[in-house]
Amino acid sequence: MFDVIVIGGGVIGGAVLRELTKYKISVCMLEKENDVCMGQSKANSGIVHAGFDAAEGSLKAKFNVAGNKMMPAYAEELGVKYVNNGSLVVAFSQEDLKTLQVLKARGETNGVTDMEIISKEELRALEPHISENALGALHAKTGGIVCPYGLTIAAIGNAMDNGAKLYTDFEVVDMQKQDGVFTLTAKDGRTEQAKLVINCAGLGSGKIAALAGDSDIVVKGRRGEYILLDRESGDFVSHTLFFTPTQKGKGILVTQTADNNILLGPTSEEVETGNTDTTADGLAFVIQKVNAMVNNPPLYNTITSFTGVRAYSTRHDFILEESKHVAGLLHCAGIESPGLTSAPAIAKYVVEELVSKHIDLQKNENFQGKRKAEYFFKQLSVEEQNALIRKDPSYGRIVCRCEQITEGEIVRAIRENPPAKNIDAVKRRTRAGMGRCQGGFCQPFVAELIAKQQGIPFEQVTKNGKGSEIVVGVSK
């Protein structure tokens, strides 16, 4: 039995799980997919929002601003690249210009610092490719970018290094509470027990609440399609460019990513399911909007497109509270944008303010928050790289040529917490296959490494879990 079970291996679940391991309690994470970070945490804009967007007094505003301040240190500890590139909300009409004033005032109320409304000329100096139709912008200098899946996986890995357990393919289908103990049952019959349950199930958090008999949580999905451009065009813009928000929402953005790609999107479409197909119309819409924002976007350098489904609550604010019906069931639900930014602040709040009401939290003196230097091969000096290669020659073999990822890094991703079990999981941890050839060259090598490390036949290696085997048989 555990003290606390966290349901859902996304950026919120990961941050909460890691925060829990700072205390002398036993914790585990239940994830319904074959790997962590399989929902909206792997397919979003990766923006560390400044905090001018959320309504005054909302939880979104509170945790956004707090999370924004925590993010640089949080990302650094976890070895995830964070860049303070600054955000620009671009105005294209007189009305937009007025909205910028509103946004700035709201930001100030929310506690956002370093905002400035800049002229057309100043905007062009910051972003030479900006459209001639742009009239000015709100420059929020505390805006940033971070790798969302890197952040999620590193937090969970670090939590596991500090004693947390992870159970994947554990889709919770039943939840019972008896004598102060929750019993959670998976689809395949496995059970886990705990005194407290934290619901971080993203799009599934309404369903999880309902299993416990709590119908207060209503969560819906909003699809967003994205286009990703090659790092070759990575300097096309340096800031995150937003359209001025309207009634319809924030609209699409044009941004550099923390890994120096260019990301375009997302569309916004209410959906019932988590279907992540891309559509011709959706991608065409993104392109149309991008062309309105910037001149001659280098779309010829497109390397992939994808869809994420963001979960939002019908309350249109974060839900961070104990269930009103089931004591000991804590909800982190409806965490849409700025959820990524808010994650470290949410985790701290949930543990220090909500969990602490049930469990006497004693500091875990052995907690090691920092990940090992080996995680940053490309960032090491040549001397450090060579020391590592002498110790383990597999760091001297490049497997993914586009992103220059070594065999050593891939093997480590397969072996270490949380272990990568398939091609996509390796990709999210190492970036092998994420570059311009999209795995065309490295996939056979990565598959061989997975087969060897796991001691399974090559034919059983999958792209993303059972049913997605990459070959269907031998040719001889």
Active site residues: 49
Does residue 272 bind other proteins (CB under 8 A)? Answer: no
- Which of 118, 367, 444, 453: binder of other proteins (CB under 8 A)? 444
Residue nearer to other proteins on the CB measure, 245 or 444 = 444
- Which of 21, 44, 267, 278: binder of other proteins (CB under 8 A)? 278
Q: How many residues bind other proteins (CB under 8 A)?
A: 54
- Which listed range, 17-25, 84-92, 216-224, 395-403, lies at the site for other proteins (CB under 8 A)? 395-403
Residue 470 has a CB neighbour count (10 Å cut-off) of 18
Three-state DSSP state, 7: strand
Contacts of 58 (CB under 8 A, 6+ apart): 317, 318
Site track 216-255 with other proteins (rule: CB under 8 A), x = hit = -----------xx---x-----------------------
Alpha-carbon gap, residue 174 to 241, rounded angstroms:
44
Does residue 276 bind other proteins (CB under 8 A)? Answer: yes
**Shortest distance in whole angstroms from residue 443 CB to other proteins:** 6
Whether 340 and 47 have beta carbons less than 8 Å apart is answered as: yes
Does residue 391 bind other proteins (CB under 8 A)? Answer: no
**Shortest distance in whole angstroms from residue 120 CB to other proteins:** 29
Which DSSP symbol is given to 349?
A: H
User: Side chain identity at 138, as an amino acid letter?
Assistant: L
Does residue 468 bind other proteins (CB under 8 A)? Answer: yes
Whether 356 and 362 have beta carbons less than 8 Å apart is answered as: no
Site track 403-442 with other proteins (rule: CB under 8 A), x = hit = -x-x-----------------------------xxxxxx-
Does residue 125 bind other proteins (CB under 8 A)? Answer: no
Does residue 305 bind other proteins (CB under 8 A)? Answer: yes
Alpha-carbon gap, residue 195 to 183, rounded angstroms:
9
Does residue 189 bind other proteins (CB under 8 A)? Answer: no
Does residue 285 bind other proteins (CB under 8 A)? Answer: no
Whole-angstrom CA distances from 262 to 73, 118, 337, 428 are 24, 23, 19, 17
Residue 174 has a CB neighbour count (10 Å cut-off) of 12
- Which of 283, 329, 347, 351: binder of other proteins (CB under 8 A)? 283
Whole-angstrom CA distances from 97 to 119, 129, 137, 384, 390 are 10, 20, 8, 51, 58
Whole-angstrom CA distances from 298 to 125, 227, 288, 331 are 19, 11, 13, 42
Does residue 386 bind other proteins (CB under 8 A)? Answer: yes
- Residues of this chain that interact with other proteins (CB under 8 A) are 227-228, 232, 276-280, 282-283, 302-306, 382, 385-386, 389-390, 393-394, 396-398, 401-402, 404, 406, 436-441, 443-444, 458-459, 462-476
